[in-house]
Chain A
Amino acid sequence: MTDPPHRILYAVIELRRLTKRYGDTLALDGLSFAVEPGHVTGFLGPNGAGKSTAMRLILGLDAPTSGQALVNGRRYALLSKPMREVGALLDAGAVHPGRSAYNQLLALARSNDITPTRVAEVLEQVGLAGVARKRVGGFSLGMKQRLGIAAALLGDPGVLIFDEPVNGLDPDGVRWIRDLMRSLAAEGRTILLSSHLMSEMALTADRIVIIGRGKLIAATTIAGLTARYPSLEDAYMSLTAGSVTNGAAR
């Protein structure tokens, strides 16, 4: 089940002048950055900055207007068993309420030739083993977040992408995610994590990418930012001051 370590070591996300236009809206404007393995990289930006759009483009869900998004040096759409290389949680609510947690995961697992044993393993890992046969419709947002994380972990991938995974979690769950992210990074994996919770991000991430209006504002380490600003929050506020928009990109 575990991938050979060399794949994890070289796992990397790379955006090259990525541009995405939806009608009149320029959601991404020549965005370039790289996410390196062995770290939790926090992905920050005001609402509508293009974080979710960037993640959708990395995962091949939307096609770029120009530029490239590469995972392990290749376009995501060219991966044949993508769950074994990239795990993603974009929207924890994106599950059929009538299906059980186990069946939801097993259906995903089967599509990438992942065994039922692994499904049981990840359910155990995220603490949902006891409710695996229950319909997802009755789950709290926190439980759905755990289910989404379980889905991302199914293929034991070297690259993990999480969009706002701490939304709706209780303090216990927030700490659990923090520890999970850090231990996944310590195993040499590449973690890209978006969140609006600055204090939480300061505790979880060691590198930070900040974007605004579809452009890169900063790509640095937490240490580099907190050396120049009183806190990550102050750094974020000051760096994104000119980029706060009220209209979401999509």
Chain B
Amino acid sequence: MKAILSSEWLKLRSLRSTYLLLGLSLGAVLIGLGLALMAADMYDSAPPERRPSARIADLEEVLVILPQLCMGILGALTMTSEYATGLIRTSLTVVPRRWPVLAAKAAVVGLLGLVVGPATVFGTYAASRWVLGDRFSGAYATALLEKLPILTAISLTVPAFALLGLGLGALFRSTAGAIALLAGLVYVIPMIIGNVPEPWSERLGSIMIGALPHQITGDGNASSVYGSLLPPAAAAAVLVAYAALPLLGATWLLRRRDA
């Protein structure tokens, strides 16, 4: 298994697309910095009596979409690029048991997600906090320890996306299919669910990936565009399911399908 891990690690780091997607992910921090600077400027130029009612979104939570998508695409590409080029047949010939190939890919993209997720989320938060200080009624001035659980939970959606992308890539064996579904899960499906009649809108909204971090930490964000019906343990289980179920299905298929 160690041999296959080092092989997959080399495959990942020997392609330019990996560095491009890593760079784009980390770009979230710069965008966060820019947005925070603009917000600070607007806040400072607003009349003092209007300042107490000024609100700002949680930038790290908005911008996590960028590393989520990039790592999801990276996960998908590690599998679909092999199908597109035909390299997969060589990969499966040199590892005839097959499942270790997918497991090793999961380990390397999962680990990369585990680094990129906290780096971007905590990075964006730190940049915003540094720029905004106690503006916006102290939105970014809460004790760091208080923010730790939610920032961690948001960070963990990034490796989850990397594994989800890999699983979808291995299931569909097509880059376009996997990325379309990935983007659909982030943008399209939540919009559709928002327009479904209650109580289904809230029920389905609660299992959207974007809704999970606040349910995991149990700080039930009432203003959430999603639902918030799940207890922490259930929300954590749903996040794990997003990462694991497509991968398990793909492993099962990989062992049975002709390559």
Contact = CB atoms under 8 A, between A and B. Distances in A.
Q: Are A and B genuine complex partners?
A: yes
Interface of A: 56, 59-63, 76-79, 82-83, 88, 90-91, 93-100, 103, 106-108, 110-113, 151
Interface stretch (B85-93, B124-132, B176-184, B195-203): B85-93
Interface stretch (B8-16, B143-151, B160-168, B233-241): B8-16
Given A91-B86, A95-B85, A110-B6, A103 B14 contact: yes
Interface stretch (B94-102, B110-118, B205-213): B94-102
A106 B10 contact: yes
Contact of A100 (B14, B85, B91): B14
Contacts of B97: 77
Contact of A77 (B7, B90, B96): B96
Contacts, number: 80
Given A106-B10, A107-B14, A111-B4, 8 more contacts: A60-B92, A61-B259, A62-B258, A62-B259, A83-B94, A94-B87, A103-B14, A151-B90
B81 A79 contact: no
Nearest to B104: A111
B3 interface: yes
Interface of B: 3-4, 6-8, 10-11, 14-17, 81-82, 85-87, 89-97, 258-259
Given A61-B259, A98-B15, A107-B7, A90 B89 contact: yes
Contact of A94 (B8, B16, B17, B90): B90
A99 B14 contact: yes
Contacts of B93: 59-61, 82, 88, 90
Top 9 closest pairs, chain A to chain B, by CB: A94-B86, A111-B7, A103-B14, A110-B7, A62-B258, A61-B259, A77-B96, A107-B10, A110-B6
8 contacts: A61-B259, A82-B96, A93-B86, A95-B85, A96-B85, A110-B4, A111-B3, A111-B7
A61 B258 contact: yes
Contacts of B96: 60, 76-79, 82
Nearest to A155: B94
Q: Is the interface of B mostly helix, strand, loop or mixed?
A: helix
Contacts of B16: 98
Contacts of A82: 93-96
B7 to A, nearest CB: 4
Nearest to B259: A61
A103 B17 contact: no
B89 A91 contact: yes
B89 to A, nearest CB: 6
B1 to A, nearest CB: 10
A18 B90 CA distance: 22
Nearest to A57: B258
A150 to B, nearest CB: 12
Contacts of B10: 103, 106-107, 110
Contacts of B8: 107
Contacts of B14: 99-100, 103, 107
Given A60-B96, A98-B16, A108 B258 contact: no
A21 B93 CA distance: 21
Contacts of A76: 96
Most buried by B among A56, A61, A97, A112: A61
Contacts of A61: 89, 92-93, 258-259
Contacts of A99: 11, 14-15
B89 A97 contact: no
The CB with the most chain B CB atoms within 10 A, among A76, A78, A95, A96, is that of: A96
Contact of A112 (B3, B81, B87): B3
Contacts of B95: 82, 111
Contact of B3 (A88, A96, A97, A110): A110
A111 B6 CA distance: 7
Contacts of B259: 56, 61-62
Given A62-B259, A107-B14, A110-B6, A97 B85 contact: yes
A77 B15 CA distance: 29
A56, A78, A94, A112 pick with most chain B CB within 10 angstroms:
A94
A108 B15 contact: no
Nearest to A113: B3
Contacts of B92: 60-61
Contacts of A88: 93
A110 B6 CA distance: 7
Given A111-B4, A151-B90, A94 B11 contact: no
